[in-house]
Each structure stands twice: as C-alpha cells, then as structure tokens.
Structure 1
C-alpha cells in the first residue's frame, strides 16, 4: 500500500508539473537592423559623410518575455529586453546596461489590466512609438529631434506601471521612485496617457513630469490617428515641453555641434507633426512625415538665450521580402534657424539618404 501511495503521489506530481508547464510560456524575440547613410554637412567643415549605423526606425534588440497562467484570468508576466549596435556588436548605451529597454515583472488580468515593476518604457513612449508618430520616434536626428528633450526620459528605472483597456478607452499610468532619502519627489517621475478609439479615429492626450535633482522637465502630448482606409492612415499631433533642468539644450545637439557657453533654465518647445502611413501593395509601404519645432528661451552657442525654429521632412519606403525580412530606403531634409544653429555641426541644413535591411525573429 505504501509503495502504491508513493507511486500515485509521484504520478500526480508529474501531471501537475506538466499542467504548469503547459500554462506557461517563455519567448525569445528580437530584431536586427542596420543602414548605410549619406549625410550632407556632417561636420564643422560641411563635409559629407557615408557611414553604417542604426536603422531609421528600429534599433537592434533582443529579449525574453514570458507569462504564467495563475487562473481566474490572471497571469504573471515578465520582460527582459536589450538594445545593441549591430554594426559594432556593442551595447547601445554608455553605461553598459544589459537590459536597457525593459526589465520588469508583474501581474496581468483580463478584466482589470496589467501592473508591472522595474525598468520600463514610459506611457508617452508607448503611445508615440507604437501609434502616433509617423517615424515611431525615429533613430536619425533629422527624424526625431522633436523628441530629443524627452529622450533621456523615455525609460524609467524603479517604476510601477499600470495599463488598462476598457472598451474603447486605453489608460496607462507610471510612477518612478526617486529613491532619495528625505525627499520622495527628487529624481522621481510620473506620467499618464489616455487614449480613446471611436470608429476609425484614435485620439490621445498625455502628460509626463521628470524630476532631476529638484528641477523639472514636463511634456504634454495631444495626438490623433485616422484610418481613411485599412491601408492608409493620417497622423498628427502637438508636443509642448518645458525644461528647467538644462538638459534639453544639450540633448538637441548633434555630435560635433558647438559647445554651449550655458544652458537655459527654462526652455519651452512647441512641436507639431503631420504624417501618413500607406500600405501601397502587399509588400510595399510608404511613410511621409513632417516636423516643426518652435523653441523659446533656448540657448545660443554664445550663452545668450533666444528663439529658434527647426523643421524637417522625411519619406520612407519599406519593401517586405518575407514576413520577417524587409529592405528600406529613406530621404530626409532638415533646416534650423535662430538658436537651432547651435545644434548643427556645420551649415544649418542637412540632407540624408539611407538604405537598410531589417530582420525580425
């Protein structure tokens, strides 16, 4: 009888383990992307440059994500995601962070939403990168300069994040713990986005505030996307940022731009964008994007403060060779005046032409 009980217990344990494994999943995923790019006025001598670098829209990455069914519509979830330079094989950050893009764990419920903890993308980055920005917060300076002030704050360490879907309403909220003894607000972050779907129209409004040693960076976004047809979408939006940290002036600069004598204690940017994505035929997609930024109280190279205007236009063509592999080409032009002259390494305009290849796994 004792042997029978032991055998029965072992069988039940094995069946239980098989059931648990059947309800759990771990996925290895990623993409590899690189481009060869020609750029005019790439240095102070206004020389042109040909170089290999990041893709126009998607930096190379790999990650692990998983879920375990806990029953009752609730699952435990996690994600670990790294970003790297395909052309050099190095980490794509200056401090050798292994999981630069995401490192979180949490709980997800079919009815009540998802709550996660760790290093995570902000709600602002989620909506702009996934839905509203025509270039998905692109990688080339000429395509993404309006996002440069918020660039250091697209990911947040030590954060709690909630995501919920309630019919046509999509809500995301995040709080980043500053971790400073005696000051709960210092180096903290909070952000929220609210998106609503009504027929073919998607609209979103959001706010994010970051504290840097007691000084604030704020950004507001108002965005819309409208599907004229399943193949053709129109996109537009407004970004308003106010920076008291001084980082926006520095982050707007390209490599090789003149050193700033000082930065602004209160820079304000109003940026507008329009664009469209068009699936012309099954393998061919076209993206058109235009950006305009008006900066006030921003830094000139000589240390004075003033007004600047920068604008750019981009055309991107993507051709799918398979479900996982595509080639692409892009042409862009950008020009700046006023305080934006401090952001260019040479003349105040640049033209870029690039071709690249992307594989998703």
Structure 2
C-alpha cells in the first residue's frame, strides 16, 4: 500500500513538473561573424594591413535567455550573453568577463513593462543599436568612432532597468549602483530615453550620466528614423557629450595611435550622422552612413588642448543566403584634422575594404 501511494505521489509530482516546464522556456541563441579586411595607413609607417577580425556590425556572441509564465500577464525572465572573438576563440574583453554583454534577471508584465537587475545594456545603446543608428553602432573604428567616448559606458554593472511600451511611446530608464561606501553617487550612472512613433516617423531623445571617481561623463542624443516605404528608411541624429573624466581622449583613439602627453579635463564633442537602409531585393540590402564630429578642448598630439574635426562615410552591402546566413561587403573612408590627428596611427585618413560572413543560430 505504501509503495502504491508513493508511486501515485511520484506520478502526480512528475505531472506537475511537466506542467511547470510547459510554461517555461530556455533558449540558446547567438551569432558568429568574422571578416577579412584591408585597411590603409594602419601604422606609423603608413603601411596597409590585411587581417581577419570582427564583423562590420555584429560581434560574435552566444547566450541563454529564459522566461517563466507566472500568470496574470507576468513572467520571470533572465538573460546571459557572452561576446567572443571568432578568429581567436578568446573572450572579447580585457578583464576576462564571461557574460560581457548581459547578465540579468527580472519580471515582465504585458501592461506595466519590464524591470530587470544585473549587468545590462544602457537605454542609449538599446535605442542606437536597435533602431536609430544606420550601422547599429558598428564594430570597425572607421564606422563607430563617433561612439567611442561613450563606449566604456554602453553596459552597466549592478544596475536596475525599466522598459515600458505605452501605445506609440517607448521609455527606458536605468540606474547603476556605484557601490562606494560613504558616497552613493560615486561610480554610479543613470540614463533615460523616450521614443515615439507617429506614422512613418520615429523619434528618440535620451540622456546618460556616468560618474567615474567623482568626475562626470554626460551624453545627450536626439535621433529620428523616417520610413518612406517598407524597404527604404532615412536615419539622422545628433550626439552631444561632455567628458570630465579624461577617458574620452584615450577611448577615441584606435589601435596603434600615439600615446597622449595629457588628457582633457573637459572635452566636448558634437556629432551628427545621417544614413539610409534600403532593401533593394529580398536578399540584397544596402546601408549608407555618414558621421561628422567637432571636438573642443580635446587633447592634441603636441600636448595642448584644442579643436578638431573628424568625418567618415561607409557603404555596406548584405546578401542573404538564407534566413540565418549572409555574406557582406563594405567600404569606408575616414579623415580627421586638429585634435583628431591623435587618433590615427599614421596619416590622417584611412580607407577600409572588407568582406565577411555571418550566421545566426
């Protein structure tokens, strides 16, 4: 009798577990992407370089994401996402962080939005990477340099983040805890974005502030996308940043650039961009992007502080071999003067040509 009761109890437990699992899901996902690229003026001798490296838009990554239905339109969610170098197999960061891109847990409600906790992308990065930048915040220096000052602040540790959708209004807010005893604000961050869709027009405004040992980095952005047809979009925006941390001068430099004699305590950048995406045929997509930045009070090669202008143009062609696999080719040109001379390893201009292959899983 005891054995019978135990068997029935085990069966009921198994059935209840199956019911619970049926309302939960865990997904393994990712993408692998690499390219072969030729770049002019790649060192101080102005030599050309051919190298295999990251993809033009999407660094290789894999992750796990899960959801559990709690009832009443509410779900528990989590996400763990790693970034790595496909061509070397190494983690794509210098501090050996396993889940560099995301590591969070939270609750999501169909009506009230989503609240998550952990290491996460900032609202600024969400909006620019997903919607408003024509290159989705690209990976080559020559088509992502305009974002380099905010680059160290695109992800935030120990953060709480809210995301909500109310009709055509999309809002995101984040606060990152500094964790410094005796100072709530030190090493903290906060960011806010609000975007609104009206017919073919989508516009976004955002602000982010990061504290680094008591010094501030701020960025304001205004962006827009206009959809002419289902296959043709025009994108444009303005970014204004002010850096008191001294990091922007160094982070703006590309690999091989000369060592700076000093950094600015108050660098200011005003950047503008314009671009378009065009789905020419079902398998073929073209992207055009142009970036311009005027820097003030920035570090120069001579050790003083001054102004400078940098600009770049990129053309990207992507051809889908299937729903998950595509080949692409890209050409870009970049040129700078004034303070931006400190960001080039050789001459003040570069041309890059690359071909690549991307697969999603």
Give TM-score scaled by structure 2 length: 0.98
Post-superposition shift, 1:3?
Answer: 6.2
Deviation at 1:79, TM superposition (A): 0.4
Residues in 2 aligned to 1:10 and 1:84: alpha-carbon distance in whole angstroms: 44
After TM superposition, the structure 1 stretch with the greater mean CA deviation from structure 2, 271-280 or 13-22, is 13-22
Distance 1:60 1:4 in 2: 53
Partner of 2:116: 116
Structure-2 separation of matches of 1:136 and 1:48 = 27
In the alignment, structure 1 residue 289 sits paired with structure 2 residue 289: yes
Give per-residue Cα distances to partners, 1:295-353, cap 9 Å, x unaligned. Answer: 00001012101100000000000000011100000000000011000110000000000
Cα distance in 2 for partners of 1:110, 1:66 equals 16
Q: Does 1:167 align with 2:167?
A: yes
Work out the CA distance in 2 between the residues paired with 1:251 and 1:182.
Answer: 29
- Alpha-carbon separation, structure 2, partners of 1:62 and 1:145: 25
Q: CA RMSD in A?
A: 1.0
Give the alignment of 1:144-293 within 5 angstroms: 144-293=144-293
Residue in 1 aligned with 2:94? 94
Q: C-alpha offsets along residues 8-55 of structure 1, whole Å, 9 cap, x if unaligned?
A: 443332221111000000000000000000000111111111000000
Alignment partner, residue 50 of structure 1: 50
For 1:8 and 1:84, how far apart are their aligned partners in 2?
A: 48
Any idea what SS the aligned residue of 2:258 has?
coil
1:312 aligns with 2:312: yes
CA distance in 1, matches of 2:191, 2:35: 33
Distance 2:292 2:6 in 1: 73
Supply the distance in 1 between the matched residues of 2:333 and 2:7 (Cα, whole angstroms).
Answer: 73
Q: 1:136 and 1:153 mapped to 2: Cα distance?
A: 16
Deviations 1:267-288 (A, max 9, x none): 0000000000000000000000
Q: Equivalents in 2 of 1:180, 1:263: separation in Å?
A: 25
Aligned equivalents of 2:232 and 2:256: distance in 1? 39
Q: 2 CA distance for matches of 1:334 and 1:304?
A: 24
**How far apart in 2 are the matches of 1:9 and 1:260?**
71
1:84 aligns with: 84
In the alignment, the residues of structure 2 paired with residue 263 and residue 107 of structure 1 have an alpha-carbon distance, to the nearest angstrom, of 42
- Report the Cα distance in structure 1 between the residues aligned to 2:340 and 2:211, rounded to whole angstroms: 25
**1-structure distance, mates of 2:5, 2:110:** 39
Match of 1:298 in 2: 298
C-alpha displacement of 1:7: 4.7
1:233-288 CA-to-partner distances (Å, cap 9, x unmatched) read 10000000000000000001111111111000000000000000000000000000
* Matches of 1:7 and 1:43, distance apart in 2: 73
Distance in 1 (alpha carbons) for counterparts of 2:330 and 2:7? 66
Partners of 1:9 and 1:261 lie apart in 2 by 74
1:20 alignment partner in structure 2:
20
Q: Distance in 2 between matches of 1:15 and 1:258?
A: 66
Distance in structure 1 (CA, Å) of the matches to 2:273 and 2:99 = 31
Q: Deviations over 1:155-177 (max 9, x none)?
A: 00000000011111101000000
User: Normalised by the size of structure 1, how large is the TM-score?
Assistant: 0.98
CA offsets 1:121-163 (integer angstroms, 9 cap, x no match): 0000000000000000000001000100000000000000000
Unaligned runs of 5+ in 2: none
The count of residues paired between Structure 1 and Structure 2 equals 361
CA distance, structure 2, for counterparts of residue 100 and residue 322 of structure 1: 29
